[in-house]
Structure 1
Amino acid sequence: MYSEEIQVRTGQREAVVDLTDSVTAFLRPHQDADGLLHAWVPHATAGLVVIETGAGSDIDLLTALRSLLPADDRWQHRHGSPGHGRDHVLPALLAPSMSVPVLAGRPAWGTWQSLCLVDTNVDNPVRTVRLSFLPG
């Protein structure tokens, strides 16, 4: 198994960050190998998704999350920014881990699919993502 952590700057706003370039760079030394890419976000307030980016789907996702998880005072978990409790519910809807098949050193996702980090927690501007490659 090969593994490394990458740092992702999400800033102080809700974000969907495309990890495709980071995944491609991580897999480059394994360009002929088949196996499994596993991504893990060791945070209680972020998740991973496979989604189309660049055509507005990432913005639509954030809009849907705002509707499902409003940033208001309904949440029991209340430290941090107003509505921060919703950030702790996010990983129940968007898992903190994702596995993707790798064929000949490339993720086997479909056309328009990208692995993205989703972060609604404006109190944490930098996130860690652990990428692991398990050769088959």
Structure 2
Amino acid sequence: MSDTFSTRTIHVSTGSAETVHDLTEACSSFLREVARGRDGLLNVFTPHATAGLALIETGAGSDDDLLTALQSLLPGDDRWQHRHGSRGHGRDHVLPALVPPHATLPVLGGRLELGTWQSVCLVDTNTDNPDRQVRLSFLTSAP
């Protein structure tokens, strides 16, 4: 593989409840290994039709507020045409239209360039599938 592109898939267990799972340390660890002080872009992607990625403050209630907002916007009831899985599962398939399954983030000097309170998070409302994958890809123009 080229020295200008590195990629890895990580596995995340989200459990049996809706969750906002912080990926920031996994992203930073990956960059420490592959970026080696270089500038570039980190692309984070989850290949699931029922999960997304968000930049959000965690630990101060914002992660719970996001889940509450999503429950309000996308109720877990029988209104959805997509009807396999648990009750209201159709809402999970609408989630990626609101919380996209990808994010591209700046890397400066080999470090993720986030705002003071930003964290990279996997948002998963699908309680039927606790096993998730997230692909981290670092791209730089300088070897």
State whether TM-score is above 0.5.
Answer: yes
Aligned equivalent of 1:27:
31
Q: Which runs of 5+ in 2 are unaligned?
A: none
Aligned equivalent of 2:8:
4
2:121 matches 1:116? yes
Q: Which runs of 5+ in 1 are unaligned?
A: none
Contact 1:87–1:120 under 8 Å retained in 2? yes
Aligned equivalent of 1:135:
140
Runs of 4+ in structure 1 deviating by more than 6 angstroms, as ranges, are: none
TM-score, L = length of structure 1: 0.98
Once residues 126 and 86 of structure 1 are traced to their aligned partners in structure 2, the CA distance between those partners, rounded to angstroms, is 18
Aligned length: 136
Q: What's the CA shift string for 1:74-127, capped at 9, x where partnerless?
A: 000000000000000000000010000000111111101010000000000110
Once residues 47 and 4 of structure 1 are traced to their aligned partners in structure 2, the CA distance between those partners, rounded to angstroms, is 18
2:130 matches 1:125? yes
Aligned equivalent of 1:84:
89
Identity %, equivalent residues: 65
Once residues 79 and 96 of structure 1 are traced to their aligned partners in structure 2, the CA distance between those partners, rounded to angstroms, is 21
Give the superposed CA RMSD. Answer: 0.6
Q: What's the CA shift string for 1:5-28, capped at 9, x where partnerless?
A: 000110011000000110011001
Q: What's the CA shift string for 1:37-57, capped at 9, x where partnerless?
A: 000100000000000001000
TM-score, L = length of structure 2: 0.94
Deviation at 1:135, TM superposition (A): 1.1
Deviation at 1:31, TM superposition (A): 3.3
